[in-house]
Structure formats: C-alpha cells, structure tokens
Amino acid sequence: MEYKNHMKLEFDSKSQNEAFARVVVASFATQLDPTLEEIADIKTAVSEAVTNAIIHGYEDRLGIVRVICNIQGNELEILVEDEGNGITDIPQAMEPLFTSKPELERSGMGFTVMETFMDEVRVYSEPGKGTRIRMVKKFKSLVAE
C-alpha cells in the first residue's frame, strides 16, 4: 500500500501568518525524510503562494487562506487557496518580473520562484471567486529506496 497522509490549515490573511504557514508545511513534510534543501524549497514556495493570496487575493481586506497538503508515496501536493479577487490573466501573472503592485516593491518573481523550487506548479483562478495554486514536490530520498 502506498503511504498517504493529509492535512488542512486555515488562517486569516495576515502577513504574520506567512512564516506560520511555511513552518507548518515544512513540519508536515518531515515524514518524507526530506533533505535540508528540499525543506528550504518548500518553505520558499509556500511563502510565495501565501503572500500572493494575502497581497493580491485579498489586498487590504481580511479573508481566509487555506493550505491543504496531501502526501502520496514520495510526493507532496500543496494547495494554497483564497476566495479573493482572482487573476484575470494567469500567463501574464506568471511571467518573470510582472507585478500588478510595483508600488509595494513587489519583484514579480513569486511564480518564477515557485516554479524553480517545485516540480509542478498550476494556477487555477476565477476573477471575483478566488485563486488556487497547486504545487507538487517529489522527494528524492524516498525515490532512491
């Protein structure tokens, strides 16, 4: 039987929770026997996705951000969801250096960082309904066994 596990985390769209979310996901991932590098990859990707939900999804409003993790075999699937503004042009949003918020000194590198550090990144979004980012990380230590 392939190993499976699941967890769901819900929190307010406050920037204080960015560190909280990435630490929780990293802790959950420890059961996959990750390398330090893999843990750093996950933390960075989760931080980017959650920051997006807070800044772009809800802007200055308070909303709920959900982080769902599913482990299946050697893979960790991470879903980061908000019920905020949504993205009208997903390909444009994912372009390196594109930002809709230059006044906040956002670098526009969020999705590029997620794509660099994770094995798969998909964005599902509907304007006015919200955004879901789905990321997958494959853990090498377990593949080798």
Partner 1 sequence: MLLNYEVIDNKLVIKLDGELDHHVAENIRVELDEMIEKKRIKYLIFDLSNLRFMDSSGIGVIMGRYKNISKIGGKVAVIEAQEKIDKIFALSGLYRIVEKYENLTEALNRL
Q: Which residues belong to the active site?
A: 48, 52, 106
- The one among 54, 71, 78, 121 contacting partner 1 by CB under 8 A: 54
At 25, is the secondary structure helix, strand, or coil? helix
Q: Which of residues 76-105 bind partner 1 (CB under 8 A)?
A: 96-97, 104-105
In terms of Cβ atoms closer than 10 Å to its own Cβ (0-12, 13-18, 19+), residue 101 is: exposed
At 32, is the secondary structure helix, strand, or coil? helix
- For residue 35, state whether it binds partner 1 (rule: CB under 8 A): no
- The one among 25, 34, 51, 84 contacting partner 1 by CB under 8 A: 51
| Residue 122 · residue 134 · CB < 8 Å | yes
Which among 91, 96, 143, 97 is positioned nearest to 122, based on CA atoms?
91
Stretch that binds partner 1, among 36-44, 77-85, 86-94, 134-142 (CB under 8 A): 36-44
Nearer to partner 1, 64 or 109 (CB): 109
- The one among 5, 31, 107, 141 contacting partner 1 by CB under 8 A: 107
Which among 47, 139, 116 is positioned nearest to 55, based on CA atoms?
47
- For residue 18, state whether it binds partner 1 (rule: CB under 8 A): yes
- For residue 113, state whether it binds partner 1 (rule: CB under 8 A): yes
Q: Is 130 left (phi over 0), alpha (psi -120 to 50) or beta?
A: left
Per CB under 8 A, residues contacting partner 1 are: 15-16, 18-19, 22, 37, 40, 43-44, 47-48, 51, 54-55, 96-97, 104-110, 112-113, 116
